[in-house]
């Protein structure tokens, strides 16, 4: 029988791999796991208590907030506030970043950006949802109030990122820049246990994930790529399978393990894209790259985009290396034809 390795033990054992091995990042990751368990409890009670459905308000994105969005947001903010490693947070559910202004929190060396419950509208129909988080070292002076510049950093500056998938089981997957590891929550002991060590995404796969209902509004090159995915070619295993859950974390997780590409492109009616660079795209890009995959906005590497605002949006192509490259070549070919 193999030894059970808990997330807490794993974090402590790997602390030497952190760029700044002070113990604070270890504690912060532990805080995230605790908040995840709280959210998992509430998600599993959905339908039994009055936490389903819309709250009756919209967030800064113009999207209708679900009751569980607010519950999850509050749970993570409380965890970061009491943990004392964080001087401020930015959340998809809040208009602006939140500064922790007590004297202890001002000493915190990290900021966290997160989407507390991605795909929360799917809860009503019992579809998998998730939390996404991204951790940066602050650029402002410890002991002072966090500033906007602490949050507007390129994805290349992330010190850790991860997601929690609430599905048939609850998993926490994260990276600190030294590979990707996944942990499954064992409800019998209330601990996340190592279940997917050193995750490596296949270089290619047979799954493409895109809302094909929007294809007529997309770049012609993307239409060409989807046609390529649909075309039969026994030598390459095509046609590929179209698999689109509509819950980013669930789609990303499946493709990470099995091989595939996830696409949420810019469209005529959403020229800047729909997904948020800081809360969704950067953290999942960090994980994808650490697992051997790629992430771009259709033109450049996601993690090299210089953010200008907290809720900045972008197009998104993420997944197996060869599949992302093929999608990019289709876009570039289309652009070349336009300019002939």
- Mean pLDDT, rounded, of the chain: 90
Determine if residue 27 is labeled as part of a ligand binding site: no
Range of the domain at 131: 7-196
Determine if the pTM surpasses 0.75: yes
Same domain, 151 and 224: no
201: in domain: no
Annotated ligand binding at 128? The verdict is no
Whether residues 242 and 310 fall in one domain: yes
Q: How many domains does the chain have?
A: 2
The answer to whether residue 245 sits within a structural domain is: yes
The answer to whether the annotation marks 117 as part of a ligand binding site is yes
Rg over CA atoms, the chain: 20
The rounded distance, in Å, linking the Cα atoms of 288 and 10 is: 21
Strand order in the sheet with 294-296: 241-242, 207-209, 261-264, 316-319, 294-296
137 with 278, same domain?
A: no
Is the domain of 242 the same as that of 299? Answer: yes
Same domain, 159 and 80: yes
Kindly report the number of other CB atoms within 10 A of residue 117's CB atom. 31
320 lies in some domain: yes
47 known ligand binder: no
Within-domain flag for 69: yes
Q: Could you tell me if 146 and 240 lie in one domain? A: no
Model pLDDT for residues 105-156, shown as the tens digit of each residue: 999 999 999 999 998 777 777 889 999 999 999 999 999 999 999 999 999 9
Which pLDDT tens digit goes with each residue over 282-331? 999 999 999 999 999 999 999 999 999 999 999 999 999 999 999 999 99
Tell whether 44 and 186 lie within a shared domain. Answer: yes
- Look at residues 196, 231, 252 and tell me which one is the last residue of a structural domain: 196
Q: Are 63 and 51 in contact (CB under 8 A)?
A: no
The token pair that represents 206 in the structure block = 């047979």
**pLDDT tens digits, 49-78:** 554 445 545 555 555 567 888 889 999 999
Other Cβ atoms within 10 Å of 176 Cβ, number: 24
| pLDDT for the residue numbered 22 | 64
Domain boundary among 133, 162, 196: 196
- 37 touches 19 (CB < 8 A): no
* 8 Å CB contact between 59 and 93: yes
Residue 90 forms part of a structural domain:
yes
Closest by Cα among 90, 185, 69 to 136? 90
Helices (H) and strands (E) in the chain, counts: 9, 17
- C-alpha–C-alpha distance, residues 262 and 245, integer Å: 11
Q: Are residues 213 and 108 in the same domain?
A: no
329: domain CATH number is 3.40.190.80
Verify that 235 and 192 share a domain, yes or no: no
Please check if 119 is assigned to a binding site. Answer: yes
| Six token digits for residue 323 | 């599949």
134 is in an annotated binding site: no
What CATH number did the domain enclosing 180 receive? 3.30.540.10
Q: Could you give the CA distance from residue 305 to residue 103 in angstroms, rounded to a whole number?
A: 33
Cβ-proximal residues to 15 (8 Å cutoff; 6+ apart), any chain? 21, 23, 25, 26
- Verify that 296 and 152 share a domain, yes or no: no
Among 25, 21, 4, 18, smallest CA distance to 109 is for 25
- Residue linked to tokens 């500056």: 157
If asked whether residues 34 and 177 sit together in one domain, one would say yes
**120 annotated ligand binder:** yes
Same domain, 45 and 115: yes
């Amino acid at each position: 029988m193999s030894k059970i390795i808990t997330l807490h033990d794993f974090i402590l054992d790997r602390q030497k791999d952190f760029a700044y091995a002070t113990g604070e990042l270890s504690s912060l990751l532990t805080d995230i796991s605790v908040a995840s368990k709280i959210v998992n409890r509430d998600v599993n009670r959905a339908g039994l208590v009055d936490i389903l459905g819309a709250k009756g308000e919209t967030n800064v994105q113009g999207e209708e907030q679900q009751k569980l969005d607010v519950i999850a947001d509050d749970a993570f903010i409380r965890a970061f506030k009491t943990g004392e490693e964080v001087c401020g947070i930015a959340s998809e559910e809040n208009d602006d970043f939140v500064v922790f202004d007590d004297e202890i929190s001002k000493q915190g060396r990290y900021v966290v950006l997160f989407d507390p419950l991605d795909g929360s509208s799917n809860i009503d129909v019992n579809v998998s949802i998730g939390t996404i988080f991204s951790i940066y070292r602050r650029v402002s002076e410890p002991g002072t109030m966090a500033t906007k510049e602490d949050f507007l950093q390129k994805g290349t500056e992330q010190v850790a990122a991860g997601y929690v998938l609430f599905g048939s089981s609850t998993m926490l997957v994260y990276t600190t820049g030294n590979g990707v590891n996944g942990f499954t929550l064992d409800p019998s002991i209330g601990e996340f246990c190592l279940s997917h060590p050193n995750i490596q995404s296949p270089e290619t796969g047979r799954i493409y994930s895109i809302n094909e209902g929007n294809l007529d509004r997309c770049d012609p090159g993307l239409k060409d790529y989807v046609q390529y995915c649909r075309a039969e070619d026994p030598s390459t295993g095509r046609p590929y399978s179209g698999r689109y859950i509509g819950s980013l974390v669930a789609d990303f997780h499946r493709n990470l393990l099995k091989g595939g590409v996830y696409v949420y492109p810019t469209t005529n009616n959403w020229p800047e894209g729909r997904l948020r660079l800081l809360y969704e795209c950067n953290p999942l890009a960090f994980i994808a790259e650490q697992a051997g995959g790629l992430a771009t906005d259709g033109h450049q590497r996601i993690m090299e985009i210089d953010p200008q605002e907290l809720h900045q949006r972008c197009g998104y192509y993420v997944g197996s290396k060869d599949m992302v490259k093929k999608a990019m070549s289709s876009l570039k070919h289309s652009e070349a034809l336009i300019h002939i």
